[in-house]
Chain A
Amino acid sequence: MVVEEFRSFSDWLLNDGALLTFVFVTVICAVSGLLLGFVVSSFRHGPGEAFYAVSQTVFQAVPDLFGMKFRRIWAIARLAIKENFRLFVVTLAIFVAALAIAGWFIGGGGKNPERSYVAFLFFAAQVLISIFAVLVSAFSLPNDILSKTIYTVVTKPVRASEIVLGRFVGFAVIGTVLLAIVGGLSYVFMVRGIDHTHELSEEITVDKWLPIVDGFTPDGRRPFDPRAAFESSVFTTRNNDHVHRLAIIQLPNGAFDVVADETAGHTHDVEVVESDPVTQHPKMVRFGPPRGNLRARQPIYSSPRGDLAALTLTDETGSPATGVNVGEVWDYHKYIQGGTQSTATFRFSGLTPSKFSNADQVNLDLNLAVFRTHIGDLRRRIEAEIELRNVVDVAETETAQVKSVKIPFETEEFKVQTLTIPRKLKNGTIRAVGQPDRTNQELDFFEDLATNGELDLIVRCIDQKQYVGVARASIYFHAGDTSFGWNYVRGFLGIWAQMLAIIALSIALSTFLKGPVVLISSVGVVVFGYSANFIVFVANSVLSTDKLANMWGGGPSEALYRLVTQMNLQHPLPPGLGTEILKFVDKQLLLPGLKSLSFAVPRFENFNLANYLAYGYTIDNQLLLINLLTAFTFAAGMMVIGYFCFKTREIAAA
């Protein structure tokens, strides 16, 4: 699973400057709002009167705020719900239809089907809910005003804030109900789509059990389970576009156990129905439901400690380095060279026995990349080793440096590999200052190595001249799984937050615009929200001083010129005034403007957390918190804008 950035809520809020931006944007909006109000009213009633009107409006806001009554808000909310019940049903019908059609496209596929399911379902839910939110809130207030039914409401002791907030609550409720149903339906659709079982295509006669000889089956394959003694050449039937192999495992206590391999992201429990009397090899087996494909791992990633980064690497001489680039365009993985001093050190903290439910073993998940410079023995995978060390403060010298034994393992690229580390590790070494090293000590993982939860994990590649690629997210301690269903709900929380933001947005717009205009402008803002990351990327790369990073084709207006004149990207613009203007507009106006605007709108792209679900990881609370807070503050801001616009609007004016 590719995790490119690690955002913790606190540092997002404080040092990433989210709070600062929020304050900054609020101040700007407030000031510009007042200024605008002042200009417009002074335009109409002259400056003196205007000042009085503006201040009166602002002071009026206070009683409006405290005068709000929940019963009134709920009354308007109920009204809004009743009004849009039909649209609710239509949207639901569309979603069900989409699910039916989707059945065509999301074939099981040999690979992990749940990934394509989650990706599609989240995309469909996100788009559908956004459209519903815009549609439902865009036409509500304008139609109310157009049909003058608002007169009977405004002439009641109903504050402008109650009208705006009432609608928000109404649409939020109807949206939440819709989202809950959509979420439930999609979950059932996915689980049913993935659920399947297999039978044996034919009976496994004794000769069909291939013996595993020095680690390989007779037809040259490596058995899918290293403990396997026999592997069947008979496959299961092809259900959901994949098949499973079977293997007999010799358990330490001598008993036989039959297991199915893991393809398309899951395996099945195997129950022996009938076995060969002589050799005890199973003849006919029965398969349970799929296991292991809908999961939500709880990873404990490495984290920075003081000024030391979470992941640091050393080069072949052991001095700190940034890792070798093996010529990949995407430099997510940093590579260390095999057979040298080159190491990757992961710094962990917060490893307490309770997190691992006091088990007597600790699971470490690895997702390493591998790069072979020479073919070597193709049949053998690249070997690497990990070593655990306790954290010793360089200055303070009493605590001894405790090192575990080096645990070698074969790397499995593009798969999540699990290494089980026993709590009691043998032949570790303890090096105290001024004392001879005490070797083959028995170490306790939590007491000796991960003292007060802090631990250093060192990775080395064993094979000469081969490379192992690491990234901060590629090694983590697997503290257990949360339920996939609950994780699925957390995924939908992201979409729920986005829905609230969009509802607030279009209500605010609907206080001073006509229905269709609101529709177009809120869709516009939502699209801008989706592409905010891209806009910032373009802005940064075009405005950046370092020539290399410059984007081909310049900013928007230059690109438009190139489009019209069908000039390719590399071709320099003809010198002259025109180019100067284009460059000026791009560099000074458009890009900085768009970039700063992008801070005012929540980045909807980050609200889709489907990736975590698809790859089976629990959605990080920090991420959820960030999304929810962004959406709520945006919604609150929109409510305030909506209130002021509605308040200053002459209801009866044409």
Chain B
Amino acid sequence: MNFAPSHYRKAIYGILAAILLVPISFLARPNQISKDPNQAGEATGGTISQLRSEHNLSQASLSSIDPTSEVMKLASMGLHGIAVNVLWNQANAYQEKKAFDKVSGTVDTLVLLQPNFISVWEFQGHNLAYNISREFDDYQDRYFWVKEGLNFFTKGVAYNRRDHRIYDNLGLHTGIKFGVSDEKKQFRQILRKDREYVDTFISKFINPELFDRPEAGGFDSWMLSYWWYDKSYHMRENLGVPKRTSDLMYWVKGPQQLRQYAESLSVDFRPGEATRRAWRTAYEAWTDRDPISDRQGFGKRDITTSFGAVIRLEDLERQVEFQQGIARRMDELAPGVRQEITKEKVARLSPMDQQILNMPEAERQYKEMMEMVRIEMDIRVYEQEVAARAPAENRVKADNLLRELADGEFLVSQMDSYRYTVNYNYWRDVTNMESTVPGVLARQAAYEAAELVRQGILESYEEEVTDENGVTSLVKRDGAIDALTRYFQHTSDALKPYPGLHDGESTLIEDLMQEFTKFNAHLKDVGREWPDDFPMQWFIDERVRRYGRANIKNLMTTQDIEARKREAGLLEEKSDQTDQSDQTDQSDQTDQTDQR
């Protein structure tokens, strides 16, 4: 057989190719997909597929392998990007032309081509649940399209098994769309009985009993959103899925839903023991341990701040004590130095400032209090100043203390600012206050008052009631005004132990102010005067003292009551003694508020 030269060359190439096959097979042997879905991604293939599963990049580990999605990707023959681009434009065009069923059709095809891009799921899910549902006039259509958006997200779960943001979005949209939107009353009412939707679309992910609450009249949207977040936490804590969002805004969500649940219970239904327990759960989940899912409470969560420090919001008080401890150790190292510096600074104050400084805190009016803030800054003693004057032999220890102090201060400032971002203190106090017995009684009274106002019964009345064995007796029934009085009494008892809630601007205070104004209006309707013994008179006085009359024009303060009494000539003879007693009453109250 005489081989022509070309044949030789071909033979050599063949052999070389065969030799090359060996390393290739080791490198690129495909993964044997195990039948059991959750074992998918076990590294059985060559080095490349092992590397891929190590870094969780293999399609099997990223998401379940969906035949239609694979076919679609193949069908686009590499023109993947262009096909996706066209579909996006088409979806927008259909939406502009209000052909919404075509929009959802196009979007379904779109995610087959881009299953692993979270922002695609987020954008289109939000688009369905918000933009498209808003276009409809009938609330039942809006409800349908909100469910369309949520179902769209549930489709994303299978494709993104290693990304918790899908569950976050489900929690976010369920919570807000059903709980906070204009149509929240209607949506929540329908959802409570929408067994068909729950069985078909939710039961695959969450056991319906978990959010089927008798006290909330059936399936509750807030509990549903809570459990969506819980699934996300399950991913993060148990499946070790990497973190994709900032800690603070992530761990706040679960407890937030519980609080919203408690809030909705108190508004939608007649508050009772269940409401109190709901507030209690919210409080515990907010601070140290979530009783329902037995996960760490929000306060106990390790939160890495943007500066890299790892803090726990609940530790702020402990950290401040620690700081004060340092101040004490500093004084031991430099006895008497702090008082000297304070004296020097006070001396430097202008006579006016010194006069305000010495004035008892109770007498300071609004503008003096403003001044006080500046004065305190001026006379504040910094540890550095104390350390500078420490005796020589303690100088080294003092400097170490300074460094400890600086770190401590940094942590305190971080915790303070992060607490402020999520309004941590306020919500801690509110949930705590609301879960106390007076808190619930106050809510009950408010609920009854609202009902009575709706029925237009302002005055109390007697009603003939025949009990079971025929005895009729006159029973006194509260009118709206008396119910409101009861409300204020309980609120006062509930609010007193929480000075933090008294000042500043918050929804609680706004609601209270509204209740005072409504109460005042009801009184005028029935021609009654502002009561002398108004349970929360101390609160109103405090507000006036702190913030002046700016937003409480028509409400009476204690001074106004005194003046009214004087006019009515009741009080001339004992006008002088009562002044001091009033004085003292107020002062001890204010002391309480000063304790931080």
The CA-CA distance from A322 to B139 in the complex, in Å, is: 30
- Quick check: is B196 within 8 A (CB to CB) of the other chain? yes
Residues of B254-292 whose CB lies within 8 A of A: none
- Quick check: is A233 within 8 A (CB to CB) of the other chain? yes
- Quick check: is A478 within 8 A (CB to CB) of the other chain? no
**A466 to chain B: closest residue by CB:** B137
- Quick check: is B514 within 8 A (CB to CB) of the other chain? no
Residues of B534-555 whose CB lies within 8 A of A: none
- Contact among A2, A105, A221, A372 for B140, CB-based, below 8 A: A221
Query: Contacts A2-B97, A330-B98 hold; do A375 and B182 have CB atoms under 8 A apart?
Result: yes
Is B98 a contact partner of A329 (Cβ separation < 8 A)?
Answer: no
Is B101 a contact partner of A372 (Cβ separation < 8 A)?
Answer: no
Residues of A67-88 whose CB lies within 8 A of B: none
- Quick check: is B68 within 8 A (CB to CB) of the other chain? yes
| A residues less than 8 Å from B195 (CB atoms) | 233
Is B139 a contact partner of A379 (Cβ separation < 8 A)?
Answer: yes
| A residues less than 8 Å from B183 (CB atoms) | 378
- Contact among A109, A220, A414 for B190, CB-based, below 8 A: A220
CB distance from B504 to the nearest CB of A (A): 31
The CA-CA distance from A219 to B198 in the complex, in Å, is: 15
The CA-CA distance from A255 to B180 in the complex, in Å, is: 43
The CA-CA distance from A412 to B104 in the complex, in Å, is: 21
Residues of B78-101 whose CB lies within 8 A of A: 96-101
Residues of B168-193 whose CB lies within 8 A of A: 182-183, 186, 189-190, 192-193
Interface size, chain A (Cβ < 8 Å)? 33
- Quick check: is A116 within 8 A (CB to CB) of the other chain? yes
Residues of A232-290 whose CB lies within 8 A of B: 233, 235, 238, 243
Is B101 a contact partner of A330 (Cβ separation < 8 A)?
Answer: no
Is A220 a contact partner of B186 (Cβ separation < 8 A)?
Answer: yes
The CA-CA distance from A2 to B102 in the complex, in Å, is: 13
The CA-CA distance from A411 to B136 in the complex, in Å, is: 11
| B residues less than 8 Å from A412 (CB atoms) | 138
Is B193 a contact partner of A219 (Cβ separation < 8 A)?
Answer: yes
**B72 to chain A: closest residue by CB:** A105
CB distance from B568 to the nearest CB of A (A): 47
Q: Mark B567-595, 1 if CB is under 8 A from A, else 0.
A: 00000000000000000000000000000
- Contact among A116, A220, A330, A414 for B189, CB-based, below 8 A: A220
Query: Contacts A329-B96, A378-B183 hold; do A221 and B190 have CB atoms under 8 A apart?
Result: yes
Query: Contacts A222-B140, A413-B138, A413-B141 hold; do A235 and B196 have CB atoms under 8 A apart?
Result: yes
The CA-CA distance from A273 to B195 in the complex, in Å, is: 25
- Contact among A222, A243, A329, A414 for B136, CB-based, below 8 A: A414
| A residues less than 8 Å from B358 (CB atoms) | none
| A residues less than 8 Å from B98 (CB atoms) | 330, 369, 414
Is B68 a contact partner of A105 (Cβ separation < 8 A)?
Answer: yes
CB distance from B125 to the nearest CB of A (A): 16
The CA-CA distance from A651 to B312 in the complex, in Å, is: 93
Is B97 a contact partner of A370 (Cβ separation < 8 A)?
Answer: no
- Quick check: is A112 within 8 A (CB to CB) of the other chain? yes
The CA-CA distance from A205 to B490 in the complex, in Å, is: 46
**B195 to chain A: closest residue by CB:** A233
The CA-CA distance from A91 to B140 in the complex, in Å, is: 46
| A residues less than 8 Å from B105 (CB atoms) | 109, 111, 116
- Quick check: is A228 within 8 A (CB to CB) of the other chain? no
Is B200 a contact partner of A413 (Cβ separation < 8 A)?
Answer: no
**A410 to chain B: closest residue by CB:** B138
- Contact among A111, A220, A332 for B101, CB-based, below 8 A: A111
The CA-CA distance from A416 to B138 in the complex, in Å, is: 14
The CA-CA distance from A109 to B190 in the complex, in Å, is: 22
- Quick check: is A59 within 8 A (CB to CB) of the other chain? no
| B residues less than 8 Å from A295 (CB atoms) | none
The CA-CA distance from A382 to B141 in the complex, in Å, is: 14
CB distance from A462 to the nearest CB of B (A): 14
The CA-CA distance from A382 to B137 in the complex, in Å, is: 8
| A residues less than 8 Å from B137 (CB atoms) | 370, 372, 381-382, 411, 413
The CA-CA distance from A413 to B194 in the complex, in Å, is: 23
The CA-CA distance from A414 to B138 in the complex, in Å, is: 10
Is A2 a contact partner of B193 (Cβ separation < 8 A)?
Answer: no
- Contact among B97, B102, B140 for A332, CB-based, below 8 A: B97
- Quick check: is A115 within 8 A (CB to CB) of the other chain? yes
Q: Mark A81-119, 1 if CB is under 8 A from B, else 0.
A: 000000000000000000000001100011110011000
The CA-CA distance from A181 to B557 in the complex, in Å, is: 90
| A residues less than 8 Å from B192 (CB atoms) | 219
CB distance from B351 to the nearest CB of A (A): 60
**A369 to chain B: closest residue by CB:** B98
The CA-CA distance from A613 to B196 in the complex, in Å, is: 32
Is A330 a contact partner of B96 (Cβ separation < 8 A)?
Answer: yes
| B residues less than 8 Å from A238 (CB atoms) | 200
The CA-CA distance from A412 to B138 in the complex, in Å, is: 7
The CA-CA distance from A105 to B113 in the complex, in Å, is: 13
CB distance from A471 to the nearest CB of B (A): 11
Is A2 a contact partner of B99 (Cβ separation < 8 A)?
Answer: yes
| B residues less than 8 Å from A329 (CB atoms) | 96
The CA-CA distance from A260 to B148 in the complex, in Å, is: 22
Query: Contacts A115-B101, A233-B193 hold; do A379 and B186 have CB atoms under 8 A apart?
Result: yes
CB distance from A409 to the nearest CB of B (A): 14
| B residues less than 8 Å from A243 (CB atoms) | 196
- Chain B residues at the A interface, C-beta cutoff of 8 Å: 68, 71, 96-102, 104-105, 109, 135-141, 148, 182-183, 186, 189-190, 192-196, 200
Would you give 9 A-B contacts (Cβ < 8 Å), ordered by A?
A: A104-B71, A115-B101, A218-B193, A219-B193, A221-B190, A222-B140, A238-B200, A243-B196, A413-B136
User: Known pairs A109-B101, A116-B105. 19 more at Cβ < 8 A?
Assistant: A105-B68, A105-B109, A109-B105, A110-B148, A115-B101, A115-B102, A219-B192, A220-B189, A222-B138, A235-B196, A243-B196, A329-B96, A330-B98, A369-B98, A370-B137, A378-B183, A378-B186, A413-B137, A414-B136
Enumerate the 3 nearest inter-chain pairs by beta-carbon distance, A residue then B residue, closest first.
A220-B189, A219-B193, A111-B101
